[in-house]
Structure 1
Amino acid sequence: MSTSIVFYDIPSTLPNCCWSPNLWKSRYALNFKGIPYTTVWLEYPEIEEKCKEIGASPTRNKPDGRPHYTLPMIHDLATGAVISDSAKIAAYLDATYPDKPMLMPAGTAGLHRAFEDAAHALISPIYPYGLPAAHKNLNPVSAEYFRRTREVAWGKTLEDLTPKGDEDAVEWKKLKDGFGKLDEWIRVNGPESPYFMGDTPCYADLWTAAYVMWIRLVLPGKWEEVKSWHEGRWAKLLKGLEEYETVL
């Protein structure tokens, strides 16, 4: 089967290189759809040039108004389309390859958009933990860029960003409670339900798994606790989606 899609990802020093939750969302999606693809690895300073080269649109503007280019990004060689942003990539894959398993079953695109907004707010305490830990696993050229841009965005050093002492206890509980709410949503289908839509995974599950994977990869000490949360829900989620972890 020939390669149809080029998937752009950011390398790290971790096994298989993959580390970013936003990139995992799209890698999971490609593997779930079963669409042939190959990965091209770009360090952070290379992203803007490559995006402009192949005609990708910026995903947002920088504080000074200049366009900001980010990954994930795919280049579909079959159609010529270049798509950035994990949610837009998922929508594109479903629209262009409807004969493959659907990430967002018919009529659920709006619900998925609402899910992303709500779920992201619930688990946002993950960032002060994940960002400093992720930085330690980047190659030097990306590590410098990552530190500089994140410290500007957060207004503090990566070292100061990580919660400590009483703040750690409060913020970690917020994160656990956030995942607890996601667990509640899944259990609406029944106490043994593995996924948001019952027995079949959808994009909401892949989205959630991407953040769980981030914890497992860059916060291995914390993962020992997280995998026992909510009756082992999150370890079971990764296990259930293990076949979609392939790095091509």
Structure 2
Amino acid sequence: MTASSTSATSSSSMVLYDVAFAQPYEKNTCAPNPWKARYALNFKGVAYSTQWVQTPEIEKVRSGLGVPPCRKFADGSDFYTLPILTDSNTNSAIGDSFDIANYLEKNFPNAGAGDLFPSLQLDYVPPGGESLVPLSERNDDVHADYARFNNNVDMAFSLHAQLMAHGMSWDPAWEDAIKAEFLRRAGLKSWDDLGLYGEAREKTKASLRDALRDLAAMFHRDTAGPFLLGSQPSYGDIIVGGWLRMLSKTLPDSEWEEFQAWHDGAFGRLHAALQQRFGDVK
């Protein structure tokens, strides 16, 4: 594996495998699902280190750790993704951000900021979401309401991912191979074809703003703070926060400033609070 790592402590039993973007990796890391895992780890205050993995090596790394793929491409083929969390204390390797959160809650129920999964009204469905089929289907008995919320939030942002795709930056040593892989997945020939420009971009931004309207309203139910439960953070906030990190690093600066002000600043406040409290890259 060609990767670089930074360690929280020399004795950390847990390792978070995350996608390497441009160097410095710690500054530019922005894949949504690894960020959900990082936020959850920092929420619980447990020691871990980060292992950076280049996109073309994710399949090899995941297979080498014995972690099967948990997602599919639209054509039904396996989609090898990160994060992975390994824990040498329990000989565990968990390959899905939601499963990582469940693992942390089970093994560290009272650690850090407390309960990741407090009782919460999670009734968001993106416009048109009732008729869409997710790329990966979860049938969770534990925290099923959070699992549905995770699917729905992912759907809302994924449908507008073209706003973010062209803004991703990579390590120059790997850039050509990574771009070739993204173009292969998209069935395109040029990196510029992944971008959105002019009127098409404005329409997609407006669509995202409208899709997030009901989600933003959930953050206004409790005025005590920036989280869904006011001053109490939860995994519901983290689900949204993973995508906010992605937007913060891939949108042009002017668009990111604009986004943070949407819906009375709900997402700008959430992102700032999550980054301040749980945003350390270890």
- Shorter-normalised TM-score: what interval? 0.7 to 0.9
Secondary structure at the residue paired with 2:110?
coil
Deviation of 1:205 (Å): 0.6
Q: Residue in 2 aligned with 1:11?
A: 20
1:165 to 178, 198, 223: 198
1:42 to 40, 48, 53: 53
Q: Residue in 1 aligned with 2:117?
A: 104
Secondary structure at the residue paired with 1:207?
helix
Secondary structure at the residue paired with 1:140?
coil
1:120 to 154, 158, 162: 154
* Runs of 4+, deviation exceeding 4 Å: 61-67
TM (norm. structure 2) is 0.78
Q: Residue in 1 aligned with 2:67?
A: 56
Q: Residue in 1 aligned with 2:130?
A: none
Deviation of 1:20 (Å): 1.2
Of 113-122 and 54-63, deviating more is 54-63
**In the TM superposition, what whole-angstrom CA distance separates every residue of 1:169-225 from its partner, at most 9, and x where no partner exists?**
2111011122222111222x2355522233211112112111111111222231121
Rounded to whole Å, the distance in 2 between the matches of 1:193 and 1:243 is: 13
Q: CA 1:63–1:109 in 2, change beyond 3 Å: closer, same or farther? A: closer
Of 100-109 and 43-52, deviating more is 100-109
Rounded to whole Å, the distance in 1 between the matches of 2:273 and 2:63 is: 37
User: Aligned-pair RMSD on alpha carbons?
Assistant: 2.4
Rounded to whole Å, the distance in 1 between the matches of 2:94 and 2:198 is: 42
Rounded to whole Å, the distance in 2 between the matches of 1:221 and 1:14 is: 23
Rounded to whole Å, the distance in 1 between the matches of 2:74 and 2:260 is: 37
Deviation of 1:88 (Å): 1.5
Rounded to whole Å, the distance in 2 between the matches of 1:172 and 1:192 is: 29
1:199 to 225, 231, 256: 231
Rounded to whole Å, the distance in 2 between the matches of 1:57 and 1:9 is: 16
Unaligned runs of 5+ in 2: 1-8, 121-141
Deviation of 1:41 (Å): 1.1
TM (norm. structure 1) is 0.88
Q: CA 1:238–1:64 in 2, change beyond 3 Å: closer, same or farther? A: closer
**In the TM superposition, what whole-angstrom CA distance separates every residue of 1:25-70 from its partner, at most 9, and x where no partner exists?**
1111111111100011111222222222222222235678764432
Secondary structure at the residue paired with 2:176?
helix
Instruction: Give the fraction of aligned pairs with identical amino acids, expressed as a percent.
Output: 29
Q: Residue in 2 aligned with 1:69?
A: 80
